Amino acid sequence: MEVEDVHVEGDHTFTPMDPVYIDKPIGHLPIAATMSSGHAAICLGIAQAALDAVAELGRSKVNVDPVPKMPDRSFNQYTIAEAAVKIDAMRDHLHKMTGMIWHLCLDGQKPGPVELAKLWSTSVTSARTCQRIVSDLYEIAGATAVYESFSIERERRDIDAMMQHVIVQRFWMEEAGKIIFGLEPSNPLFFL
């Protein structure tokens, strides 16, 4: 939607930098870090869908070439097994870190720099790792991956689009690294 020459009263607008008016746990969640974790969860879903699609392809694809079938190649076996364990581990850790933040808020506490660094690091690492997983799975799918009828074509496009969002860019890891070194982050959105 686009509007031109319309005056909007200030009390009908907001920015994430505005003070929190909700004195409940949900009002104390760090918006940017929580948004990053939600973004990472979507990336995990995309990676899981890609894993499922490639596993099914390996079970059902008819091999016409005189080369080993996709599931018979040791590189493919390793890649799909590693992808499965990474997705599960990242999902569990992301759940643990978002739960930690939520329980702090439930207890009336504001998440501190260390907790936020953990959530940011988990979110960004999960998203970036999912992009690599989908790329690896796309590679082992072979020529089938380029057809729109095979879902990994969309999953690769979707994960690449997700990774363009500012909320999972590399600089958030740098900010989290500053906390680990005992420094202050320079991006004011880190604590938002």
Residue 44 lies in a domain: yes
Domain that holds residue 145: 30-191
When comparing pLDDT for 20 and 168, which is higher? 168
The confidence score (pLDDT) of residue 128 equals 98
Gap between the Cα atoms of 64 and 185, Å rounded:
56
The residues, ordered by sequence, that sit 6+ positions from 40 with a Cβ below 8 Å of its Cβ are 90, 94, 122, 123, 124, 126, 127, 130, 168
CATH number of domain containing 87:
1.20.140.10
Residue 85 lies in a domain: yes
**What's the token pair of residue 139?**
């590679």
Residue 37 lies in a domain: yes
Residue 153 lies in a domain: yes
Label residue 174 by pLDDT band (50, 70, 90): very high
The residues, ordered by sequence, that sit 6+ positions from 4 with a Cβ below 8 Å of its Cβ are none
Looking at the structure of the chain, the number of domains it has is 1
Name the pTM for this structure. 0.90
Tens of pLDDT, residue by residue over 135-149, are 999 999 999 999 999
Check pLDDT > 80 for residue 18: no
Residue 117 lies in a domain: yes
